[in-house]
Structure 1
Amino acid sequence: MTTQSTNYYENSQDFLDDVQYSKHGVKKYEWIFGEGYLSTGGLETTKEIIPLLELKKGQRVLDVGCGLGGHDFFMAENYGVIIDAIDLSKNMMSVALHHFNKKPQIANNIKFRICDVTATQFPENYYDVIYSRDALLHIREKPQLFQSFLRWLKPGGRVVFTDYCRGESNSYSQEFENYVKQRDYTLYKLSEYNTLIKNTGFVNVLAEDINDRFVDSLNRELKKLYSERNDFLKEFNDEDYKDLEDGWVAKIKRAKDGHQTWSLVRAYKPIN
């Protein structure tokens, strides 16, 4: 994995597509997360989290950082919602559209779009739900982002997202700091998310540490890698295998040591 920072690139899109989400990298991550997924737990955690969105047929959803589209396919097929699915990575969007083109039954339910959510305006009071999975960590301007979310949601609408967070301690390992810097992440503590979202004007905020689920998912994915090694090596090489193994082992250690955690946040726009 290259250690170039965003300073080397003209923009964040080029950084993402060349570093973390290269075409080969996306293919490799999709293998371990499952077809259509590029976030912790794949379909299994999607089935756990989507019911929290309280979706009803015909409602409008903005998926911020839609990745490979798996979450959107699941919502459209099971709930009949209308989704604007956005992502900054051209490589991920290419895979999402490849999968989407094989699903004519939901062709009218999802509109995929490459864009930067921090530089794009959506209609005010328009969405019933804003949803995101492990994508907000890429965004520095979080206060401005949640102000936009509040504008774009209908009164009574909700935002539901998971994200990587810093542990509540102020002491972090050098390995963790190097990881955050190399990925160019902006990670909040869960308590900081809670404060920010309340101060933005959201109500009924529920910010949960779900680190146990994070570790369980990582262990399950690592077990898949080990048990299906031969199948993996039919598509990839030993270096790819070691890269995934080392990455997952390191995430498990960071989570167990309390440096990195996984958070689930729900909040509502006031009705009045």
Structure 2
Amino acid sequence: MELLRYVAFSTDPSGGNPAGVVLDATGIDEPTMAATAAEVGFSETAFAVPLDDGSPDGHGSLAIRYFSPCGEVPFCGHATIATAVAHAERHGVGKLRLRTKAGPVSVSTRADGNGSVVATLVSVEPRTAPITPSDLAALLAALDWPAADLDPALPPRAAYAGAWHPVIAAATRSRLSDLDYDMPALADLMGRRDWATVDLVWRESPTVFHARNAFPPGGVVEDPATGAAAAALGGYLRELRLVPLPAELTVYQGYDMGRPSTIRVGVPAQRSSGLAVTGTAVPL
């Protein structure tokens, strides 16, 4: 097994979100994948298996699985971007079709003219669901965030674009900056509700957001760049009609933990369309 290490959503290896990438995991069993991800210690490691399915896209298809240090997740945005860039550097830019546990995801790569490869994934169809009052109370208690500190214009809701993420909006940037939560309590709640990360956001402008993502189910206190959550945020904003459509969102994440990341999200006007998540990746 050849294990690559990339940083996604940054052109600087000291920023972004690290991901492990195995471009050919043919014959590798699930226990080995899980043990490898735990040893690597990044928030996710992606294991891809090339598929000979006669795809007309030019570069074919990959079956892909994602593992955190604590177990498998159905979809991971930053590891998808890292995998696509690593694949493009080996085989050339173009299009890929990914078979994920969340459903089919298309990815395209291109050279940006500055020596970097830019990847864009299109998520599965997004959706949202209410958060019950008792779950919201437990979530805020674990975060130690008073309800009065939330932005009333962005109501709490669970959002999905491959994995579920509660979207919790802070009223101020200082509230977002102050993150010191009860990890066991939040992990227990998230495990019972099958939430991947908690997407904590602050809206700087109609299309610019700052985000922090608590990730205790993965054994990680905070994720520095969460492409799946950024896609889910875009779907949330579209479904609740909280952004003019079509929209181009910018999500800044990782700044509070010293790993700055930039995620671009294209939000089409059509409600059933997937969200386009764009970013770069560089090897570590």
Give TM-score scaled by structure 1 length.
0.27
**Larger proportion of strand:** 2
TM-score by length of 2: 0.26
Give 1 or 2: higher helix fraction: 1
